[in-house]
Structure 1
Amino acid sequence: MKKITLDVPDDKVDFVIELINQLGLTSSEEPDIPEEHKEIVRERIRSANQDDLVSWEEARKQLMFKSES
């Protein structure tokens, strides 16, 4: 089976999705991530130092503080 990637104008998306459904085709909005990229992320997760991590709330405070300066 072949995969096709389409760029569809915003005002035509509903039409194209309906056409895909009528033809019995499948559509997916999931990006096709190469295995090489996935492995890079896995390695970064494995090597992450838990002591260097901050909560989302703390990171947000730091970012807001920087944007105010």
Structure 2
Amino acid sequence: MNFTIISEITNIEIIAVSNSIRDLARLNKTYGKGCWRKLKGVATIRLDNGRIRVAELHWYEAHGIGKKEIKRKFYLD
């Protein structure tokens, strides 16, 4: 199910950095070389069916490239 982030992402934590990321080769090939980090945080999201939920999100980020592949892991409410 797709979602839209409707609040600021808070409680951001780094999960993995560079060689600790399993998908590092794919990220470099798809988006370009960068200092990749995998992060997690909490945000309020709106689901396609209109429901509003608080969820933990995971994503990849690199300096100069930005946030990529934001995924909803689980709901917190």
Which TM-score applies when normalising by structure 2?
A: 0.18
The higher-RCO structure (CA 8 Å, 6+ apart) is 2
Which TM-score applies when normalising by structure 1?
A: 0.19
**More strand by proportion, 1 or 2?**
2
Rg larger for: 1
